[in-house]
Amino acid sequence: MIANVVRNCFPVAAQVVADKADEINKLNVFPVPDGDTGTNMSLTLGTVVKEVQALPANASMDDIAKAITHGSLMGARGNSGVITSQILRGVAEGLTAAKGDSATAADIAFALRNGVKVAFKAVRKPVEGTILTVLKDISAKADQLEKANVSAKEALDAIVVEAYESVARTPDLLPVLKENGVVDSGAFGLATFIEAFVNAYNGKAGEVSEFKTTVDSEGAKAHVSDVVDIELNDDWEGSEFRYCTEFLFHAEDPNFDEEANLKYLSTMGDCELLVGSNPDYKIHVHTNRPDRVLRHMLHRGQIFKVYVHNMDLEAEERTESIREDKAEAVAGQKKPLGFVAVAAGSGQADILKSLGVDVIVSGGQTMNPSTADILDAIEKCNAESVIVLPNNGNIRMAAEAAANACDSCDCAVVPTKTVLQAFAAMFVADPEGDLDANVEEMTDAIGEIRDGEVTSAVRDSAAADGTPIHSGDVMGIMGGSIEVVGSSVQDVTLEVINRMQEEEEGDTLTILAGSDLDDDAFQKLVDAIEEAQPDLEIDSHRGEQPLYPVVFSIE
């Protein structure tokens, strides 16, 4: 009997939608990205299951249709849930017209046509690319199958294929879906329900997560998966209306004017729905004044089971959930090539990250990281191969020891002595390239730059030319050798740059300010360099490295 088929298959399909509710929620961007479509559809279907299961064992299809109509109306949640309730009502009522014990392709086509009629009547402004589009498409397919005189099983199998193919087309019909890299959530939820129902009908209730009735259906479902690559939507400015407001309404006037009250709802917001029949209705609207909506309806009857949701907050929760999913997905996959670099200041670290370094190890001239520190950073890269940039001669041995000790991936060290050499190396790095080829290319790159550093002496010493150095003097270092001594950071820096340019003229100066050099002093230094070296292009940044007010390189 048709009644037994519906009674047995409906709970299976409802459970599958419940199991996939989170997946459906993440697709939800229309009419607002509040991430609740799967939840609302699941709650709606769950209420139907309870009402149907409460019927006696010999309940007729007419009894079941009434239970589906009442249960879905009472349990409908959200825009998607209310529309789903009307689809269920229309299809269930359509099945009551079947004459035989078993449904035919013609019976299925008639039921779907009735579902289209009821659902489209409930929605004042139907939008293409939504759950209603899928309903319309599978109904049209069913009409074709009826004319082809196929069996009910063949018709149901083909309808599942058409449902998923229709879902895959939704981004081409609704631009907001394509912009966010998703198919319509309600459409996907409906296809999921239909698939699971048909699987149960075919005796494959244990295989509801994988539809295998026909080869074509697998292809259609795979197409949906290919379409979906959910994008984060952090810049959503919000709907014009904030509160999703829904409630049950019992009219006290036997002549309750449905059209007039629906028109009123449209003046208070959008996505307005008023479904049911006198005296019992389900009302839904997105509005900024749920209080006014409720007050208006209170004057016309009784309200109960009121739900008011803040869609802005729900949208934020959806975005955060997707972000966490993407982070977990990335964490579970090894990238081809990762990079670890040592940085002596927060500014240096930020620049290295912007150039593609995955993990930063804090350290420098006076705080050398250990082999264990670097090995831990290599592991955190979660990559097939890793390149380490020590950025200090004193750290190179620890980096090489870590690379040799690593057994989770291939590892190599590019022997950078300064962070500026690391910048040059990362500019030529190819994250998708071969490890050895990258090491060779990056090592060549660090040989193309010349470094300079300015710091203060902590004890008496002598410069490379024998000039005495006293504690507190400012020293200019070129190629690891103290070449300039003075009392001013600016004067020493200008002299070092001048000597480097006399040795070999370069085109670009990259300069980093240390933590002891404030912004005003740094800007004055940059201005002085521009005046002294008008042909030198200057790229200035905060490096925030300690002990060295200025580090720079010339290329």
Token pair listed for 488: 């001013």
CA distance 244 to 124: 17
What was the pLDDT predicted at 214?
39
Q: How many helices (H) and strands (E) does the chain have?
A: 21, 16
Q: Is there a single domain that holds both residue 78 and residue 101?
A: yes
Q: Cα 287 to chain center, whole Å?
A: 27
pTM: 0.53
Q: Is there a single domain that holds both residue 86 and residue 185?
A: yes
CATH code, domain carrying 44: 1.25.40.340
Average pLDDT of the residues in 136-148: 92
User: Range of 304's domain?
Assistant: 243-315
Q: Is the dihedral of CA 232, 234, 239, 241 positive or negative?
A: positive
Q: Is the dihedral of CA 58, 64, 66, 70 positive or negative?
A: positive
In a domain? residue 211 = yes
In a domain? residue 54 = yes
- Decide: 392 and 363 in contact? Cβ < 8 Å: yes
In a domain? residue 379 = yes
| CB count in 10 Å sphere of residue 245 | 27
What was the pLDDT predicted at 389?
96
For 506-550, what is each residue's pLDDT tens digit? 999 999 999 999 999 999 999 999 999 999 999 999 999 998 999
Which residue in 231, 130, 234 sits closest to 182, CA to CA? Answer: 231
For 44-74, what is each residue's pLDDT tens digit? 899 899 989 999 988 899 999 999 988 888 8
Confidence of residue 222 (pLDDT cuts 50, 70, 90): low
What was the pLDDT predicted at 124?
74
- Decide: 156 and 131 in contact? Cβ < 8 Å: no
In a domain? residue 323 = no
CA distance 85 to 429: 56
What was the pLDDT predicted at 210?
40
Going by the DSSP 8-state scheme, the letter that residue 456 receives in this structure is: E
Question: Is pLDDT at 159 greater than 60 in this prediction?
Answer: yes
Q: Is there a single domain that holds both residue 398 and residue 511?
A: no
Question: Is pLDDT at 425 greater than 90 in this prediction?
Answer: yes
Of 394, 413, 446, the domain-final residue:
446
Domain count for the chain, please give it: 4
CA distance 341 to 425: 11
- Decide: 8 and 200 in contact? Cβ < 8 Å: yes
Q: Is there a single domain that holds both residue 440 and residue 459?
A: no
Q: Is there a single domain that holds both residue 276 and residue 421?
A: no
- Decide: 555 and 424 in contact? Cβ < 8 Å: yes
CA distance 482 to 175: 63
Token pair listed for 473: 């003097």
Of 426, 446, 466, the domain-final residue:
446
Residue identified by tokens 């899928």 is 134
- Decide: 497 and 532 in contact? Cβ < 8 Å: yes
Confidence of residue 479 (pLDDT cuts 50, 70, 90): confident
CATH code, domain carrying 437: 3.40.50.510
Give the full edge-to-edge strand order of the sheet including 335-343: 359-362, 335-343, 383-389, 410-413
In a domain? residue 132 = yes
User: Any idea of the CA torsion for 129, 76, 273, 36, to the nearest 10 degrees?
Assistant: -50
Exposed, middle or buried: residue 144 (CB in 10 Å: 0-12, 13-18, 19+)?
A: middle
Identify residue 347 by its one-letter amino acid code.
Answer: G
Contacts of 528 (CB under 8 A, 6+ apart): 490, 494
Q: Is there a single domain that holds both residue 458 and residue 405?
A: no
**Category of 166 on φ-ψ map: left (φ > 0), alpha (ψ -120 to 50) or beta:** alpha
Q: Is there a single domain that holds both residue 270 and residue 177?
A: no
CATH code, domain carrying 525: 3.30.1180
Token pair listed for 525: 């230094």
CA of 397: how far to CAs of 352, 376, 391, in Å? Answer: 21, 16, 11
Q: What is the DSSP string of 102-149?
A: S--HHHHHHHHHHHHHHHHHH-SS--TTSHHHHHHHHHHHHHHHHHHT
Q: Is there a single domain that holds both residue 476 and residue 433?
A: no
Q: Is there a single domain that holds both residue 142 and residue 281?
A: no
Token pair listed for 59: 């309940």
Of 185, 202, 227, the domain-final residue:
227
Q: Is there a single domain that holds both residue 392 and residue 264?
A: no
According to DSSP, the residues that pair with 247 across neighbouring strands are 283
Question: Is pLDDT at 435 greater than 90 in this prediction?
Answer: yes
In a domain? residue 327 = no
CA of 380: how far to CAs of 205, 334, 353, 356, in Å? Answer: 42, 10, 14, 15
CATH code, domain carrying 260: 3.30.70
In a domain? residue 471 = yes
Q: What is the DSSP string of 517-555?
A: S-HHHHHHHHHHHHHH-TTSEEEEEE---SS-SEEEEE-
Q: How far apart are the first and last CA of the chain?
A: 84
Q: Is there a single domain that holds both residue 365 and residue 497?
A: no
Q: Poorest-confidence range of 19-33, 354-368, 525-539?
A: 19-33
Confidence of residue 326 (pLDDT cuts 50, 70, 90): low
What was the pLDDT predicted at 211?
35
What was the pLDDT predicted at 275?
79
Q: Is there a single domain that holds both residue 104 and residue 198?
A: yes
> Mean pLDDT in the chain?
85
In a domain? residue 232 = no
Q: Which of residues 251 and 34 earns the better pLDDT score? A: 251
| CB count in 10 Å sphere of residue 505 | 11
